[in-house]
Amino acid sequence: MIPAQRQKYNQRFTAEKYQIFLNELGLGYPEIPFRVAETPIFVPQALKEKLIAAGEEIIKLIKQPNFKAITDKAIPVNWKVPNENGQPHFLTFDFGICKNDAGELSPMLIEMQGFPSLYGFQHHLAKTFKTCFDIDDSVNYFLNGFNEEKYVELLKEVIIGKHQPEEVALMDVDAPNQKTAIDFFVTQKMLGIKILALADIKKVGKQLFYEENGKPIRLKRIYNRLIFDEVADNTEIFKNSFDPRGELDIEWVTHPNWFYRISKYTMPFLKSEFVPETRFLNEIETLPADLENYVLKPLFSFAGMGVMIDVSPSDITGIQDPENWILQRKVNYEPAVLSPDGGVKAEIRMMYLWPDGGEPQLCINLARLSRGKMIGVRYNADFDWVGGTVAFMEV
């Protein structure tokens, strides 16, 4: 998207360099189980400014005094966790790169989360790209004046807070074997916190403990990576550990309720040039005549699961719980990233950190390249110049 950067990168690219990059990226870590793209994205100033403006519009909604009231129904009753705090610690907004009516590249919101993303891995990935492919300083993967030192400092403030690193753990149901475990290990290296599977944690009264060298150590803060949708059919696993929905003497980073509040559920409340028309299915009286230009998405799913791209009226009438679905105008991605054999579609995730008592701060980003019908890494396994990457934006 920055022609000079793209031309220089493509001319210098070789399969050997890419392999050296992958080796460097994985050095000292378990194998990365998802595809990392051959290239970063180079984002020009005009598009960068639109991405920032789009994020600010969404944050304005989240900071409204009535935000919790309008999103209360987003949280499934049986997954509501007590002692919710006043704000999420993480905000991530996914934008498809499209062309607007003026023919300019412009972002369109695809997804949003009040849940952590790959805050550790993206820094590691971008730094490795910069080193292995000699990317110059006219572009940067950090935003908002951040550099490595300032970023790690804020990450520590958000995740560790006022505690000691050993009193804080990154937790997932089976953390070391998750598809995104590379991010867990990078985060551990950066911050010194523990990585714990759910089964590693035991409840005594209202307090939580894990064992280290035969000694119990009390957990005071959990960097939560457990998505309830993944364990909804297997709540028995809580019996050998603890149930997050109980009364606990623990701080959450971020509190699980924010996963639901800031999600697809929030999108119908947003009216913006950067947000596709989105409506709750149960509130639609007359279906659009051009239904082929819409997608149907379940509110409570992740990683693109359950999304219907080619929607028919029978798909809609067959849905038993329309209150749990949204109908959204399709976003037409522009194949704006030039690979050696044609254009590739791109999506950019703007990633914010929100410290306790502070303001949300745009720090870093994640990107995905796609040639398939959907953007996610799992939908592009058979292509090259696709997969997870990062955007270097014009300074």
The pLDDT of residue 375 is 65
The pLDDT of residue 190 is 98
Q: How far apart are CA 46 and CA 152, in angstroms?
A: 28
- Specify the number of domains making up the chain: 2
Q: Tokens 């990233």 appear where?
A: 337
Say if residue 116 is in the same domain as residue 101.
yes
Domain of 143? 14-147+260-276+331-395
Say if residue 24 is in the same domain as residue 126.
yes
Say if residue 107 is in the same domain as residue 24.
yes
Q: How far apart are CA 260 and CA 74, in angstroms?
A: 6
Q: Which residues of 75-105 are buried (b: 16+ CB within 10 A; e: fewer)?
A: beeebebeebeebbbbbbbbbbbbeeeeeeb
pTM: 0.94
Q: How far apart are CA 377 and CA 370, in angstroms?
A: 8
Report the 3 state secondary structure along 325-363.
EEEEECCCECCCEEECCEEEEEEEEEEEECCCCCCCEEE
Residues with pLDDT less than 70, the chain: 302-304, 373-382
Q: Is residue 33 part of a domain?
A: yes
The pLDDT of residue 44 is 98
Say if residue 369 is in the same domain as residue 228.
no
Say if residue 271 is in the same domain as residue 235.
no
The pLDDT of residue 189 is 97
Q: Is residue 116 part of a domain?
A: yes
User: Which of these three, 198, 219, 253, is where a domain ends?
Assistant: 253
Ordered DSSP codes for 85-98: -SS-SEEEEEEEEE
Say if residue 119 is in the same domain as residue 231.
no
The pLDDT of residue 232 is 85
181: left (phi over 0), alpha (psi -120 to 50) or beta: alpha
* Torsion angles phi and psi, residue 210, rounded to 5: -130, 165
CATH number of the domain that 208 lies in? 3.40.50.11290
Q: How far apart are CA 140 and CA 292, in angstroms?
A: 39
Note if the bond before 131 is cis, omega within 30 degrees. Answer: no
Say if residue 124 is in the same domain as residue 200.
no
Say if residue 79 is in the same domain as residue 132.
yes
Give which of 7, 42, 120 is closest to 363, Cα–Cα: 120
